[in-house]
Amino acid sequence: MQYLKKIGTLTTLLAATMAFGTETALAATVKVTMHAMETTVKIDNKGTEYPAWTFGGHIPGPVIRVKEGDIVDFELINDATNKESHSMDFHAAVVDVLKEFAPVKPGETKRFKFDAKYPGVFMYHCGAMPMHQHIARGMYGIIIVDPKEGYTKEYPKPDREYVLVQGQFFPKADDHHAIMENQGWTNTLINGKIFHYDPVHDPAASLALVAKPGELVRIFYVNANVNLPAAIHPIAGIWERVYPSGNPRNVLYGISTYSMGVADAATLDIVSPKDRATNNAIVDHTMGAAMRGAITVLMNTPDADPKMGKGDNILPR
Ligand SMILES: [Cu+2]
C-alpha cells in the first residue's frame, strides 16, 4: 500500500509538472481591443435604424475566441465622441468588479488582463450604470474559450459552428425605468436583428444558417436578454448534446429544450438526418419571444455553402 501511495504521489507530481510545462508552452497572450461606440445600427432585415450603444459598432460585439489557459490582454477605448461612461464585464474572468470592470469615461482607455481559466462560452457586457440600459442598447457579446485538451469522444469536432446571441429590443432606448420593469420591449434580436436568419417569417431576411445533411452543427448560444430566460429548442430536431456554460465536462444527451437564465450560455450540438434535406427552426420556445423575432432557420441541404459556419463565418451578418 505504501509503495502504491508513493507511486501515486510521484505520478501526481509528474502529471502536475507535465501539465504546467504544457500550459507554459501553449499559453498565449491574446490582445483584444474594443471601442465603445454610441452609434446607429440596423435592427431588422429592412434596415430600421436604432440609436445603439455597442462594442465595435455592432450588436452583438465581436466574437472573442481564445484557448483555455490563454491570457486575455484587454483594452477598452471609450471614444471621446461618446456621451456615456462604459465598461467591460467578461463572465469568463475572475478579477475584481471594482477594478477591472470599473467604468471608463469618454476619451479614456482601460486595460486589464485575465486568465481564461474555464473552457466554455460566456456572455460579456457593459456594466456601467444604468446597466440594464447599457445591455438593452446593445453592449453585449460572446467569448468562446476552447478547451485545452481539444476535441474528444464526448466533445467531437463539429462540421460547422454558429454563434447565436439573443437580446431583447426596447425601442424607447432612453426609458431605462421601463427597461428595468421589462416594459415596452417589442422584439427579440438574434445576433442584433429581428428574425435575422428567418426567411420564412420575414421575406426581407436574406440569411439562414446552413449545413449539409448529417453534419454535426455546434451552436454557441448566449442569452443576453435583459430580464427574460430563454427556452432553446430546435424545431423538428433534438439537441444531440448540450454543454451547459459550454464546458465540455458538462454533457447532457438528447435534450429537446434547454432553458437558459439571463446571462447564461450553452453549447448545443445538432445532427440532421443524413439521407434527406431538412430544415430546423431554432427558437426560444417562449412564444412571446419566438413570435417577436427569436426564430432561426437551419437549412440542411447538400448544396450548403462550404464556407458558412467555418473559421470567421460563425456569426453571419
Ligand atoms: Cu456601456
162 three-class SS:
strand
Instruction: Choose one of 146, 175, 192: the last residue of a domain.
Output: 146
Answer yes or no: is 307 within a domain: no
Per-residue pLDDT of the chain (317 residues), as tens digits, is 333 333 333 333 333 333 444 444 567 999 999 999 999 999 999 999 999 999 999 999 999 999 999 999 999 999 999 999 999 999 999 999 999 999 999 999 999 999 999 999 999 999 999 999 999 999 999 999 999 999 999 999 999 999 999 999 999 999 999 999 999 999 999 999 999 999 999 999 999 999 999 999 999 999 999 999 999 999 999 999 999 999 999 999 999 999 999 999 999 999 999 999 999 999 999 999 999 999 999 999 999 999 999 999 999 99
| CA 54 – ligand 1 centroid, Å | 7
| CA 73 – ligand 1 centroid, Å | 20
- Same structural domain for residues 53 and 97? yes
| CA 80 – ligand 1 centroid, Å | 14
Q: Which pairs count as long-range contacts for 200-204, CB under 8 Å and 24+ apart, including other chains?
A: 200/281, 200/295, 200/297, 201/295, 202/44, 202/45, 204/44, 204/45, 204/46
| CA 128 – ligand 1 centroid, Å | 5
Q: Which domain holds residue 124?
A: 28-146
| CA 264 – ligand 1 centroid, Å | 20
Answer yes or no: is 263 within a domain: yes
- Same structural domain for residues 167 and 279? yes
As for how many domains the chain has, the answer is 2
Place of cell 483594452: 75
| CA 140 – ligand 1 centroid, Å | 9
Position 27 scores a pLDDT of 78
Answer yes or no: is 288 within a domain: yes
The residues, any chain, with a CB within 8 Å of residue 253's CB and separated by 6 or more, are: 240, 241
- Same structural domain for residues 215 and 191? yes
pTM for the complete prediction? 0.91
Answer yes or no: is 273 within a domain: yes
Question: In the chain, what is the greatest distance between 2 CA atoms, to the nearest angstrom?
Answer: 73
| CA 317 – ligand 1 centroid, Å | 22
| CA 134 – ligand 1 centroid, Å | 5
Position 25 scores a pLDDT of 52
The residues, any chain, with a CB within 8 Å of residue 41's CB and separated by 6 or more, are: 49, 50, 52, 54, 57, 58, 59, 138, 192
- Same structural domain for residues 139 and 181? no
| CA 230 – ligand 1 centroid, Å | 23
Backbone angles phi, psi at 194, to 5 degrees: -75, 130
245's grid cell: 456554460
Answer yes or no: is 18 within a domain: no
| CA 173 – ligand 1 centroid, Å | 13
| CA 314 – ligand 1 centroid, Å | 25
| CA 127 – ligand 1 centroid, Å | 6
Instruction: Choose one of 146, 173, 199: the last residue of a domain.
Output: 146
- Same structural domain for residues 101 and 176? no
Position 128 scores a pLDDT of 98
DSSP secondary structure, 220-274, as one string: EEEE--SS--EEEEEETS-EEEEEETT-TTS-EEEES-EEE-TT-EEEEEEE--T
DSSP secondary structure, 243-257, as one string: EETT-TTS-EEEES-
- Same structural domain for residues 96 and 219? no
CATH number at residue 278: 2.60.40.420
| CA 88 – ligand 1 centroid, Å | 8
Instruction: Choose one of 146, 170, 185: the last residue of a domain.
Output: 146
- Same structural domain for residues 266 and 173? yes
Answer yes or no: is 4 within a domain: no
| CA 46 – ligand 1 centroid, Å | 26
- Same structural domain for residues 275 and 233? yes
Asked if 268 and 96 count as a contact pair (C-beta separation under 8 A), the reply is: no
Q: Which of 74, 3, 65 is nearest to 36 (CA)?
A: 74
Interatomic CA distance for residues 208 and 224, integer angstroms:
21
Position 26 scores a pLDDT of 66
- Same structural domain for residues 58 and 90? yes
- Same structural domain for residues 294 and 172? yes
| CA 1 – ligand 1 centroid, Å | 60
